[in-house]
Amino acid sequence: MKDGLTRERLLAAYRVMLLTRLLDSKALGLHNQGKIGSYTSSAGHEAIHVGSVYGIDKQDWIFPYYRDQGVLLARGVPVEQLLNRYFGNASDAMKGRDLPNLYSFRECRIFSIAAPIASNLQISVGFALAARMKGENIVAISYFGDGATSSGEFHTALNFAGVYKAPCIFICENNQYAISVPFKRQTASQNVATKARAYGIEGYAVDGNDFFAVQTAVSAARERALEGLGSTLLECLTYRHSAHSTADEWKRYRTQEELEEWMKKDPLKLMKDYLIARSIMTVDNERKLQDELQAEIVAAVKSTENIPPPPEESLFEDVYATPALR
């Protein structure tokens, strides 16, 4: 198997892709039941998420954005911790603060997410340069959408990364829309990858529905970064299967035909077909895996949904070094 991707590793990758899709569907259900706040679905992004994490090392730092549930699960964040975040309960690492999809899992080397789009990019560049000064042999990988590439932060981060040859990988998850704005209204450039040239870094367009394409491109970008050859921008092309978030109605700006065309390239289906065609997995094994993961999710919801909210007194914890009032 290419690039050290053994059968076990491929099955593990498929498992986490499927877990991401099933947990996503559960989270949408929990929102519809009024149990969690607004939620941004990751359906359609699984090959980018899992493929990219399988292309980096455990030591590398991750700077995700709000749609990156599969990145978190592939890095090893337990399902219960994601659910604690969604419920904003007393066991939530962020003590119930902020929207469900804004995460922070320092122990997994996952940097905190802030809501402004592209705000993680400059931080990832500074982080990568600091790590290099400290002699650490790691890369910083950051994630963002196609809409985020129109922000000043995108330009500043890539420019700085180019000048200082920062050991960074920039993953643009181009899902064709920024809420309701289609990609052709986002930029007059041919694509996002080509923008890399202006910053003197490498840039490639990658099939974001293909786990192998993403894994291979990220792994090569990591090698380049650690050889001192600088950053890489990878534009991973995919499609957002559902609405931007639970707060909008996608049928007002996208057609059913467009969705159906992209659903033929569903990353989960492509990976499943590949594994079955090469006898790495059988149809039966896959069904069993689905049942097993569903049971795991149901058990995780059961163990987290009744945890009470964080105590009110915790509201000002971690806010001031010396609280003004007690």
Task: Please choose, from the candidates 21, 1, 10, the residue with its C-alpha nearest in 3D space to the C-alpha of residue 211.
Answer: 10
Q: What does 115 bind: Mg ion, ligand TPP, none (CB cut-off 5 to 8 Å by kind)?
A: ligand TPP
Contact code string over 163-182 relative to Mg ion, x by CB under 5 A: ------------x--x----
- Active-site choice (164, 204, 253, 274): 253
> What does the longest C-alpha to C-alpha distance in the chain come to?
65
Q: Give ∠ CA 210-75-272 in degrees, rounded to 5.
A: 30
Q: What does 233 bind: Mg ion, ligand TPP, none (CB cut-off 5 to 8 Å by kind)?
A: none
Collect all residues with Cβ–Cβ distance below 8 Å to 178 and sequence separation of at least 6. 145, 146, 147, 148, 150, 186
266 is an interface residue for Mg ion by CB under 5 A: no
Q: How far is the CB of 43 from Mg ion (least distance, A)?
A: 13
Q: What SS3 class is residue 145?
A: strand
User: Alpha helix locations (H) across the chain?
Assistant: 7-32, 46-53, 69-75, 79-87, 119-133, 152-163, 196-199, 211-226, 256-263, 267-277, 283-304
Q: What does 27 bind: Mg ion, ligand TPP, none (CB cut-off 5 to 8 Å by kind)?
A: none
Q: What SS3 class is residue 141?
A: strand
Q: What does 162 bind: Mg ion, ligand TPP, none (CB cut-off 5 to 8 Å by kind)?
A: none
49 is catalytic: no
244 is catalytic: yes
Q: Which is nearer to ligand TPP, 82 or 281 (CB)?
A: 82
Residue closest to ligand TPP (Cβ): 145
Q: Which is nearer to ligand TPP, 266 or 304 (CB)?
A: 266
Q: Which is nearer to Mg ion, 146 or 210 (CB)?
A: 146
Q: Which is nearer to Mg ion, 20 or 219 (CB)?
A: 20
Q: Which amino acid is present at 194?
A: T
Q: How far is the CB of 180 from Mg ion (least distance, A)?
A: 10
Measured distance CA(6)–CA(1) in Å, rounded? 6
Q: How far is the CB of 208 from Mg ion (least distance, A)?
A: 11
- Active-site choice (244, 274, 278, 326): 244
Q: How far is the CB of 118 from Mg ion (least distance, A)?
A: 12
Q: How far is the CB of 55 from ligand TPP (least distance, A)?
A: 20
DSSP state of 110: B
Contact code string over 107-146 relative to Mg ion, x by CB under 5 A: --------------------------------------xx
Torsion angle (degrees, nearest 10) of CA 317, 318, 322, 326: -10
Q: Which is nearer to ligand TPP, 165 or 207 (CB)?
A: 207
Q: What does 116 bind: ligand TPP, Mg ion, none (CB cut-off 5 to 8 Å by kind)?
A: ligand TPP
Q: Which amino acid is present at 259?
A: L
Conformational region of residue 76, where left means phi above 0, alpha means psi within -120 to 50, and beta covers everything else: left
39 is catalytic: no
On whether the CB atoms of residues 110 and 64 are closer than 8 A, the answer is yes
On whether the CB atoms of residues 239 and 175 are closer than 8 A, the answer is yes
Residues annotated as catalytic are 240, 244, 253
Q: Provide the binding-site residues for Mg ion, judged by CB under 5 A.
A: 145-146, 175, 178
